[in-house]
Structure 1
Amino acid sequence: MRAILLVATAVATCISLYCVGATFGYFHQPIPGIEVSPKASLLAFIAAPSFAVFATYILRRAPFSFGYVCSIYFLCIVVGYLWINPFSRLPYDHQAALVSAFLSGAALLVVLVTSSRLRLARFQLRPSFTELLPYALLVIGAVTVGAALRYNFHLVGLADIYQFRDSIDFPMPLRYANGIVQSTLLPFAFACFVERRRALPSIAALVLMAAFYPATLSKFAAFAPFWLLFLLALQRFSKPENAVILSVLLPLVVGLASLAVESGLHHGVYRVFGLINFRMFGVTSISMEVYNAFFYSHAPTHFCQIGFVRSLIGCPYDPQLGVELARAYELGNFNASLLSTEGIASVGTEWAPLTVLASGAILAFGSAMASHLPARFVLLSSGIVVQQIINVPLSTALLSHGAALLFLLWWLTPKMVPLDNPQ
């Protein structure tokens, strides 16, 4: 069953990205005078199915872990890039990028899947303290969202957020607190309450997450509570390993179905398809295409996008590489995952598999910190942070969005016995 779901997800990813290109023209739109080498196309069409088969083989019986969760999402990113490569008209070495992406993805999946075998010595907090911890996190969340709302409050629809978002400017400590509370602390508290069947505090955690929307005007903040509820519903009807796959497959299918409906209505605005298939999933693969093109003609960053490294060696680029890409291609701010930033941007296409492998080892270490915890708890507490990991640099996800703090919280949390499956 799992193998079928994995293959279906890979196929849906490719169909979705082709429809994204045909609808929005982001990678399919030709640039005058630039063509893809015919030699690259055949290899590219072989690469995507080959990687899907390889991934299915190593994931079909892999046990659940945080590393497994990440591997499913990275599978979609890599398969998607390998698929759109032959449609590209951007000027760079497509064959070299194709091989690099395949090796990077393979290395990443292998190290993430093997993370389930790692076991770390733990320092556990007292049970009485862990009982109070999620309530303390709720208080921290309430204080943070209150402070954020004092700096900015605009209760507007999603279509109008861009009129106000560029003017939002939080103090740096509050900016970090916003990201960490939304991505890590409140989801962790929500997962704790779900495991203990505390309905009202669970709802309070979701409400606080939603309250960040009028302060940050972020689509991410608007949909994060619904995403956690979606994950909770999936795990009630399927095994955790399959629930992760379905969290990708079902939205892709819904988005594709909506494309036919929205096209038939001739609205010209593809809200559901654009949000799910383009912004949520498509951009993660398209970013690899754009980063490969940009850094083919620009020097690698040598990790200078990281503040500490920047202070030592300086940097010719904006700290947010997405800003540099927006200036070069006028496609909007293309922040991207570790495949593009710690990989392509930092060391170039040739060496990217090595730095991606190292980044995967960091995630695998974090995964091992949760090896003693129930699958549902890990899935829910990491549900938002995983979305950050596939959309922003790993260094940003670890620090600005609190992934490193989540790993620590997992390590300190005592072993739980699921209430609906007593042992």
Structure 2
Amino acid sequence: MGKQLFFAVVVAICVSLFCVGRVFGYLDAIPRLTVAGVPLALCGVAAFASIGYLTLRGRPFSFAYATAFYFFCIVTGYLWMLPGSQIPYNHAVAFVSAFASGTFFMLATLSISARLPAIGLPTGTATILPLGSLLIAAATVIVGTRYSFRLVSLSEIYSFRNELDFPGPLRYANGIVLSSLLPFAGAFFIETRRYALAGAALVLMASFYPITLTKFSMFAPFWFLFLLALAYVVRPRTAIVLSILLPILVGLASLPIDMAQQKSIYHIFGLINFRMFAIPSISLDVYNGFFATHHPTWFCQINVVRTIFGCDYDPQLGVEIAKAYPLGNFNASFLSTEGIASVGPLLAPATAVLCGVVIAIGSSTASHLPPRFVLLSSSIVVQQLINVPLSTALLSHGAALLFLLWYLMPASALAPVALPPPAIKKRPATLSEA
């Protein structure tokens, strides 16, 4: 990753979030950075970006690298917006906490590069894993359609989503299949050049939208294809950087067009720059504000802890946040949940280290696999990690299962399937040859 490309991402994030504040700043929970606050924001971002560049520079691609870079972007965005925060809490403590959490997470994630001893499944046996994943996905879709199936636009999903009532096992299956099993199967079939089966995985991935009615399920197959296209033209490490930079630039390019047409809804900019990239950073601001006046959860949002010790909060902290701020169900990454919400800003850097160790161990299960396969098979899980708690990503969205599948998959099974040579037709003998 070149220095110019790295800092281009940093600049793009800052410009994008400045525009987000201008466009959506009428919402009380959205930071509105003023010109007077820019110098302070620049100092914080410059310091953190320098540490991020030195930490990420020269690292080979891995799942840990992808996760570390995405969380670097989240913290960069928060440090940039913090001087414009409209929520009262101790901003100085929050700055130090976010800076330390981001730094310690990157160091913990990228410093552990141990290679686990491989189990060594036979190549023939290992191919059952993606085929089984595809069959499980098909069964999950079929069962899901019995509970819900509506072909509606994104603007209409909220009219029907409250009616969804999946059984617990099916609800878990939906998240695990969409986030882990199908990307794993799709990546495997692409690597082995079984494109028909890869297409089937994408079709099944798209089938979850009319069942679950979530924006995430709508765009999951497109995100997979976007990373696939990048992986064919650049190395996976550069693909991760461009997966942030290119969408942000597209959203920024759409903003003046919508403004010139005096549109009240900024579809592309709102979806990409606000919902996809700004919200993970804004969540740090919102959670800091909420838990400045509420006691920490001490991890009671996790079902096991809740069962033993009880809990005063809804198991989905996003529901609690929605009661205080008009932003909907505001789920967030481990920086906000296992960090700020669970232990407070002072101890949040310690939980960031522990989360970094978990990610590093998960990444080591794929150390023997091709980088492009790891990039594609983790494409959706990484997006979940920046939007939901780590415990939720590991269990409800199948990240832990994906780590196990990586560990069981031998690199030899990812060799492209050899096609039989074309049959050579013999030319009929001429009279002279006869």
- With normalisation by structure 1, the TM-score equals 0.95
Show structure 1 runs of 4+ deviating over 6 A: 26-31
Q: Provide the secondary structure at the position in 2 that maps to 1:75.
A: helix
Q: Take 1:273 and 1:403, find their aligned partners in 2: how far apart are those partners?
A: 29
The equivalent residue for 2:198 is 202
* 1:291-339 deviation line (CA, Å, top 9, x unaligned): 0000111100000000000011111111000011100112211100010
Q: Name the aligned partner's letter for residue 152 of structure 1.
A: S
- Tell me which residue corresponds to 1:230: 226
Amino acid aligned to 1:5: L
Question: Does the CA-based 8 Å contact 1:27-1:87 persist in structure 2?
Answer: no
* CA RMSD between the two structures: 2.0
For residues 26 and 150 of structure 2, what CA distance do their matches in structure 1 show? 31
Corresponding residue number in structure 2 for 1:66? 63
Report if the CA contact (8 A) 1:27-1:286 is conserved: no
Query: Which stretch of structure 1 is more off in the superposition, 58-67 or 390-399?
Result: 58-67
Look up the match of 2:3: 3
Distance (Å, rounded) in 1 between the aligned partners of 2:51 and 2:188:
35
SS in 2 for 1:304: coil
Task: Give distance in 2, aligned partners of 1:133 and 1:157.
Answer: 34
CA contact (8 A) 1:144 1:178 kept: yes
Q: CA deviation at 1:26?
A: 6.2
- Residues 1:384 and 2:373 are matched in the alignment: no
Choose the corresponding residue for 1:123, options 119, 135, 147. Answer: 119
Question: What amino acid is aligned across from residue 48 of structure 2 in structure 1?
Answer: F
- The answer to whether the 8 A contact 1:100-1:353 is kept is yes
1:265 to 252, 257, 261: 261
Q: Does the 8 A contact of 1:300 with 1:348 survive in 2?
A: yes
Structure 1: how far apart are the matches of 2:92 and 2:367? 38
Does the alignment pair 1:18 with 2:13?
no
C-alpha deviation, 1:42, in angstroms? 5.9
After TM superposition, give the deviation of residue 43 of structure 1 in Å.
5.0
Q: 1:318 to 1:41 in 2, by over 3 A?
A: farther
What are the residue-to-residue correspondences of 1:4-403 with 2, within 5 Å?
Answer: 4-25=4-25, 43-115=40-112, 117-403=113-399
Counterpart amino acid of 1:168?
Answer: L
Give the share of equivalent positions with the same residue, in percent.
56
Q: Which residue type is aligned with residue 340 of structure 1? A: S
Query: Partners of 1:239 and 1:51 in 2: how far apart?
Result: 25
- Matched to 1:267, the amino acid is K
Separation in structure 2 between the aligned mates of residue 197 and residue 26 of structure 1, nearest angstrom: 50
Q: CA deviation at 1:133?
A: 2.0
Equivalent pair of 1:30/1:89 in contact (CA under 8 Å): yes
Residue 229 to residue 409, structure 1, CA distance change in 2 (3 Å): same
- Preserved contact between residue 21 and residue 28 of structure 1 (Cα < 8 Å): no
Question: Which letter does structure 2 place at the counterpart of 1:71?
Answer: A
The CA distance in 1 between the partners of 2:414 and 2:167, in whole Å, is 40
**1:135-172 Cα deviation digits (max 9, x unpaired):** 11111100001111110011001111111011111000
Question: Is the contact between residue 374 and residue 416 of structure 1 (CA under 8 Å) also seen in structure 2?
Answer: no
Write the letter of the residue equivalent to 2:301.
Q
User: Structure 1 residues 127 and 169, CA, compared in 2 at 3 Å: closer, same or farther?
Assistant: same
Paired residues in the alignment total: 415
From the superposition, tell whether residues 417 and 243 of structure 1 become closer, same or farther in structure 2 (CA, over 3 Å).
Answer: farther
Confirm or deny: 8 A CA contact 2:183 2:377 kept in the other structure. Answer: yes
What's the CA shift for 1:7?
0.6
Question: Per the alignment, do residues 416 and 266 of structure 1 end up closer, same or farther by CA in structure 2, a change over 3 Å counting?
Answer: farther
Give 1:2 shift: 2.2
Q: Is the 8 A contact 1:45 1:86 kept in 2?
A: no
Quick one: distance in 1 between partners of 2:414 and 2:122?
18
Taking the aligned partners of 1:203 and 1:261, their CA distance within structure 2 comes to 35
Distance in 2 (CA, whole Å) between partners of 1:232 and 1:182 is 17
Q: Which residue of 1 aligns with 2:432?
A: none
Task: Quote the Cα distance in structure 2 between the aligned partners of 1:412 and 1:167.
Answer: 39
Change (3 A) 1:269 1:353: same
- Equivalents in 1 of 2:23, 2:210: separation in Å? 30
| Counterpart residue type for residue 292 of structure 1 | N
Distance 2:267 2:320 in 1: 27
Aligned 8 A contact 1:27 1:88 in 2: no
The normalised TM-score by structure 2 is: 0.92
Q: Which moved more, 1:285-294 or 1:326-335?
A: 326-335
The code of the aligned residue for 1:280 comes to: M
Per-residue CA shift, 1:165-218, capped at 9, x if unaligned? 111110000000000000000100001101100010000000000001100011
- For structure 2, the residue ranges without an aligned partner over 5 or more in a row are 419-434
Task: Mark the runs of 5 or more structure 1 residues left unpaired by the alignment.
Answer: none
Distance in 2 between the 1:259 and 1:77 partners? 22
User: 1:112: how far off?
Assistant: 1.7
